[in-house]
Structure 1
C-alpha cells in the first residue's frame, strides 16, 4: 500500500505583502491603565528633561549723567536767586529814598589857629598844637545823626601826621548846623625832611594840608536807631604859613565825604 501512495504536489504558499505599521496607536492614549499607571507616561517621566541653554539678558547701558549739566543747573539757580535778591534790595532802597529822601552831610573847615609849632634843641622832634573850627551840617528832614565815641581826627603834611584829636559825642537833629572847635596835638620824630619841604612851600606862599576824619555814627530814622556806620571825611587845605601864634589864612578848602560799615 505504501507503493501505491500518491504524491501530490504541494503548492507553495504565496508571500503576503508586509503589513504597514499603524501610524495611529491601536489603543487610544490614556485608555489603557494598569496598577503601575500609564506605561507610556512612565517612559516619558523616566527620560531626563532636555536642558535648554539660556543666554543671560543684559539691559542696554544707559549713558552716564553728565556732571556738568547738574553744575549748570545749580549755577543757573544761584544766578536767579541773586538776581531776585538784587531786585528786592533795589525795591527797598527805592522805597527808602522816596520816603525819607536822604542827603549827604556837609562838612567844612572854617578857620585854623596854631598855638604850638616848634622843634626841640637838636631838631629831632616837632611839637604841634592846632585849633580847628569845623562846621557840620545835616540837611535831612527825617534823619538824625548820633556821633558816637571812638572818632579820629588828624592833620597831615607831606604824608606825615602832625597832630590828632577826636570829635565830641553829640546828637545832630534834622536840618541842623553844628559848629565844632577842636584841639589837636602831636609830636613828630625826625622831622628833617619835613623842615626842608616846609621851607620850599612857605616860599611859594601855599602849604598843603590834609585833614582826615573817621567818625562812628548811628542814623535815627523816625524812632528807629540803625546800626553803626563810619563817616569818612577828607579835607584838602591850602594855608599861607604854619607859624605859631599867628593868624593863618586858608586859601582853599575842599572836603569829600564817604562812609563804610
Structure 2
C-alpha cells in the first residue's frame, strides 16, 4: 500500500477554516442581538378586548312536534334557536410604537361551542399607539338547528336562571412600525357573557334587556 507524500507542499485540508466558523457564529449572534434589541425597544403586545355590554332583543328555542304516519316511523324536526342581540366590544392597543390594522373581523355568538348566529363583519380599522376602538354590532341567528345536547343544556340553564353565551371574533391583523407593515396574522377573540333568564326567558320574544358585562376577553394572535 502506497502512502501519499506531500513533500514540501501542504496537502489540501477539507476541514473548514477556523475563522470562517467564527465569522458564521458571529453573524448569527449579531442577527439574534438585533432581533432582541428590536423586541426590547418595541415591546410588542397583542390587543386587549373587553365585552362592555350585551342587549338581548330576542331569544327563542323552538322544536316541532313529532309527526307520525301509517308508513313512516315517528320523527322530530330538529330544534332551532333564533337570537337577536347587540354587543359592544372595546379593543385597546397597548403598544407605544406599534399600530394595528384590523381586517376581515367577523363577530358571532356561540353557545356550548356551537355557533348560533351568523357572522357580522366589522369595518376595517386602523388603531394607533394606545388608541381605543369601539364596535357595536348586531348578531342575528334565525332558526339555527341545534343538537339535542344543546336543547338539554338550555333547559338546565333556564332552570338555573341564566346561560353563558360566548361572543367570538375571528379575523386578521397587521402590525405597523413607522412605514413598515407586517403580513397578516390570525386573530381570535373569545368573550364570555352571562345572560340572566327570568321566568320563561327561553321561548318568547320580550322587551330588550341590556346587560352591563365589562368582561375581559381572551385573545390569540
Q: Would you say 1:229 and 2:185 are equivalent positions?
A: yes
Deviation at 1:191, TM superposition (A): 5.2
| Corresponding position of 2:86 | 131
Distance in structure 1 (CA, Å) of the matches to 2:28 and 2:208: 55
Q: Which protein, 1 or 2, shows the higher relative CO under an 8 Å CA cutoff with sep ≥ 6?
A: 2
What's the C-alpha RMSD, in Å, of the aligned pairs? Answer: 3.2
Q: Would you say 1:141 and 2:141 are equivalent positions?
A: no
**Unpaired stretches in structure 2, ≥5 consecutive residues:** 3-14, 16-21, 65-77
Q: Does the CA contact (< 8 Å) of 1:237 and 1:252 recur in 2?
A: no
Q: Would you say 1:178 and 2:141 are equivalent positions?
A: no
Q: Would you say 1:113 and 2:55 are equivalent positions?
A: yes
Q: Would you say 1:99 and 2:54 are equivalent positions?
A: no
Deviation at 1:238, TM superposition (A): 2.1
Distance in structure 2 (CA, Å) of the matches to 1:217 and 1:139: 15
Q: Would you say 1:257 and 2:219 are equivalent positions?
A: yes
Greater gyration radius: 1
Deviation at 1:108, TM superposition (A): 0.5
Distance in structure 2 (CA, Å) of the matches to 1:257 and 1:159: 17
Deviation at 1:119, TM superposition (A): 4.3
SS in 1 for 2:192: strand
| Corresponding position of 1:157 | 111
Deviation at 1:140, TM superposition (A): 1.5
SS in 2 for 1:111: strand
- Aligned positions, number: 185
Q: Does the CA contact (< 8 Å) of 2:50 and 2:91 recur in 1?
A: yes
SS in 1 for 2:136: strand
Deviation at 1:145, TM superposition (A): 1.0
**Structure 2 vs 1, CA of residues 190 and 230 (structure 1 numbering), >3 Å: closer, same or farther?**
closer
**Structure 2 vs 1, CA of residues 233 and 89 (structure 1 numbering), >3 Å: closer, same or farther?**
farther
Distance in structure 1 (CA, Å) of the matches to 2:210 and 2:30: 52
| Corresponding position of 1:238 | 194
Q: Does the CA contact (< 8 Å) of 2:52 and 2:214 recur in 1?
A: no
Deviation at 1:221, TM superposition (A): 0.3
Distance in structure 1 (CA, Å) of the matches to 2:106 and 2:28: 34
Distance in structure 1 (CA, Å) of the matches to 2:147 and 2:61: 9
Q: Deviations over 1:122-174 (max 9, x none)?
A: 274322222110001112121111112x3222211112211132221111111
